[in-house]
């Protein structure tokens, strides 16, 4: 038996849309090594820069928000982004824990 926690992320996305926000859904689609959140983890970002959910343990969320805001202003509706272990400064964007993740970003729209 495999239990998940009850994700309210999609419900929240819908509430944002009802408030006329533009919303991007980010999904962890691949992981290698000791990535902090499993495949299938969700996060949403809106055009005000608010975000909910998580795709890592806090390591890359800031960068994901930035990429989502870029995508909102782009003619493309989706994008795949990858993060690898950060081997320079710990302040660089990357997974301090040594994992690698791929995230799929997509617009939620009509």
Partner 1 sequence: MNLDLLQEIINLKNSKKEFSVITDISNAKSYIFSLNEKIQEELKENEKKIIELYKSRKDGLIKGTDLFVKNYHRPIKVVIVGAVHISQFFVEYAKSLNLDIYIIDPRGYFASEKRFPSANIINLWPDEAFKHCTLDKNTALIALTHDPKIDDPAIQEALNKKCFYIGALGSKKTHENRCNRLIENGFEKEEIKKIFGPIGIKFGGRSAPEIALSIIFQLMTEIYKQ
Spatial distance between the Cα atoms of 104 and 64, rounded to a whole number of angstroms:
10
Binding status of residue 27 toward partner 1 by CB under 8 A: yes
**What's the min distance (Å) between Cβ of 70 and partner 1?**
16
Q: CA neighbours within 13 Å on the CB side: how many for 87?
A: 4
Binding status of residue 82 toward partner 1 by CB under 8 A: no
Which one of 27-35, 53-61, 81-89, 92-100 is the stretch in contact with partner 1 (CB under 8 A)?
Answer: 27-35
Indicate which single residue of 72, 81, 98, 104 sits in contact with partner 1 (rule: CB under 8 A): 104
CA 94 vs CA 47, 67, 70: distances in Å: 23, 14, 19
Of the two residues 34 and 76, which places its CB atom closer to partner 1 in the complex? 76
């Amino acid at each position: 038996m495999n239990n998940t926690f009850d994700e309210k992320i999609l419900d929240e996305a819908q509430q944002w849309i009802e408030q006329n926000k533009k919303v991007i859904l980010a999904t962890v689609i691949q992981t290698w090594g000791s990535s902090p959140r499993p495949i299938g983890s969700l996060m949403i970002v809106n055009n005000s820069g608010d975000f909910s959910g998580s795709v890592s343990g806090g390591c890359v969320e800031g960068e994901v928000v930035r990429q989502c805001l870029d995508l909102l202003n782009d003619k493309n509706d989706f994008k795949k982004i990858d993060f690898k272990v950060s081997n320079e400064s710990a302040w660089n964007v990357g997974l301090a824990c040594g994992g690698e993740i791929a995230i799929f970003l997509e617009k939620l729209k009509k």
